[in-house]
């Protein structure tokens, strides 16, 4: 399948990428891993006139903790997240999700920035980042701004990003002591999108829940944050009963549709089960 014609621009620096985006505006798209954009162009769902290839822009592939935050560059490949020692040792929700995204070859190219900017509600990383309370950094030639991910995501394939902006970084509050988390994904086979995915992050303090984060995949128009469930958990004791109530609230917040992967009723049930299971696993980690 052949995409429609476009002009190809390879940016060597971030400034060059941003100036190309400013010049071509709506008619330009950033080409990162290409693992969502190229399939869409082949199907002619997307037909940008200009592609700005940012794969060789330096400085966007870091994973580091700085000033109380984990900062992940937009060009960090899924495979790099999957194999990062920092992620493995301190961010179990990300560590659990990374190897479940797509397949190993797609993960060698696909990037976190692309996954989040693409805003497919079936994407795994946005749910993880919602659970972790992440913000995104958007840069343009004119300056930069930072938005909470939950505000950034507007609708399926739609975000707050302007045509002249590029997502450059994802910022996550640094891991706290006594915390845990995981990502549970139901997929029919390797490489399939989630039937349902649930990301959970939990921090305990003095026997109570200091913070709980829950992100849901494939059960709404965007990745959803189960805010009512999170609020019910905050300050509560981490009991099975509290988890069951949170799971009920999360399932109620989900808006799945029936499709080849399962009925809406089934998916809602999986949300309920996975939230309980994920919270219990996170509690074990937090207590360890």
* Residues making contact with ligand FAD (CB under 6 A): 29-37, 39, 74, 101-102, 106, 110-111, 113-115, 117-118, 123-125, 161, 166-167, 191, 193
In this structure, the chain runs to a length of 288
Least CB distance to other proteins at residue 231 (A): 38
What whole-number distance in Å separates Cα of residue 138 and Cα of residue 165? Answer: 6
Specify the residue for token string 């360890």.
288
34 binds other proteins (CB under 8 A): yes
7 binds other proteins (CB under 8 A): yes
Interface residue with other proteins, options 69, 109, 210, 285 (CB under 8 A):
109
Long-range contacts of 173-177 (CB under 8 A, 24+ apart): 173/68, 173/69, 173/70, 173/132, 173/133, 174/65, 174/68, 174/69, 174/70, 175/70, 175/90, 175/91, 176/203, 176/210, 176/211
Q: How far is the CB of 84 from ligand FAD (least distance, A)?
A: 17
Under the criterion CB under 8 A, does residue 8 sit at the interface with other proteins? yes
CB atoms within 10 A of CB 260: 6
d(CA 220, CA 60): 30
Nearer to ligand FAD, 37 or 271 (CB): 37
Residue 13 token pair: 């620096």
Instruction: Choose the one of other proteins, ligand FAD, none that binds residue 117, judging by a C-beta under 5 to 8 angstroms depending on kind.
Output: ligand FAD
Per rule CB under 8 A, is residue 108 in the interface with other proteins?
yes
- Alpha carbons 62 and 73: distance in angstroms, whole number: 5
Q: Is the dihedral of CA 39, 109, 79, 279 positive or negative?
A: negative
Give least dist CB 251 to other proteins, A: 30
Region 120-139 residues binding other proteins, contact defined as CB under 8 A: none
Binding mask 64-103 for other proteins (x = CB under 8 A): -----------------------------------x--xx
Q: Work out what residue 101 binds among other proteins, ligand FAD, none; the CB cut-off runs from 5 to 8 Å by kind.
A: ligand FAD
Give the burial string for 33-55 (b: 16+ CB within 10 Å, else e): bbbbbbebbeeeebebebbbbbe
> Contact 160/147 with Cβ under 8 angstroms?
yes
The option from other proteins, ligand FAD, none interacting with 3 (CB < 5 to 8 A, set by class) reads: other proteins
- With CB under 5 to 8 Å by kind, the binding choice for 143 among other proteins, ligand FAD, none is none
Nearer to other proteins, 42 or 66 (CB): 42
Q: From the CB of 113, what's the least distance to ligand FAD, in Å?
A: 3
Which is closer to ligand FAD, CB of 102 or CB of 131? 102
CB of 3 to other proteins, least distance (A): 5
113 binding partner (options ligand FAD, other proteins, none; Cβ < 5 to 8 Å by kind): ligand FAD
The answer to whether the beta carbons of residues 86 and 42 sit under 8 Å apart is no
CA torsion through residues 90, 71, 163, 11, sign: negative
Give the helix, strand, coil percentages of the chain, each rounded to 5. Answer: 40, 30, 35
What does the binding site for other proteins look like in residue numbers (CB under 8 A)? 1-8, 10, 31, 34-35, 38-39, 41-42, 51, 53, 55, 99, 102-106, 108-109, 190-191
């Amino acid at each position: 399948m052949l995409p429609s014609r476009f002009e190809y621009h390879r940016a060597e620096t971030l400034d060059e990428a941003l100036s190309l985006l400013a010049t071509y505006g709506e008619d330009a798209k950033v080409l990162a891993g290409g693992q969502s954009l190229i399939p869409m162009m082949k199907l002619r769902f997307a037909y940008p006139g200009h592609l700005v290839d940012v794969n060789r822009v330096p400085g966007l592939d870091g994973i580091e903790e700085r000033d109380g935050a984990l900062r992940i560059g937009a060009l960090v490949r899924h495979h790099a997240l999957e194999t990062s020692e920092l992620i493995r040792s301190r961010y179990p929700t990300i560590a659990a999700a990374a190897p479940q995204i797509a397949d190993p070859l797609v993960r060698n190219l696909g990037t976190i920035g692309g996954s989040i900017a693409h805003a497919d509600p079936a994407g795994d990383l946005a749910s993880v980042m919602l659970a972790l309370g992440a913000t995104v950094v958007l840069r343009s030639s004119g300056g930069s701004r930072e938005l909470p991910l939950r505000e950034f995501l507007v609708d399926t394939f739609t975000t707050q990003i302007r045509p002249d902006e590029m997502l450059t970084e994802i910022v996550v509050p640094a891991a706290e002591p006594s915390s845990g988390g995981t990502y549970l994904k139901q997929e029919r086979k390797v490489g399939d999108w989630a039937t349902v995915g649930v990301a959970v992050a939990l921090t305990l303090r003095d026997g109570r829940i200091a913070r709980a984060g829950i992100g849901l995949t494939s059960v709404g128009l965007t990745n959803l944050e189960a805010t009512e469930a999170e609020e019910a958990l905050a300050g509560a004791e981490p009991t099975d009963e509290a988890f069951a109530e949170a799971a009920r609230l999360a399932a109620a917040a989900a808006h799945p549709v029936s499709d080849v992967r399962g009925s809406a009723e089934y998916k809602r049930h999986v949300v309920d089960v996975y939230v309980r299971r994920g919270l219990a696993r996170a509690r074990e980690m937090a207590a360890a």
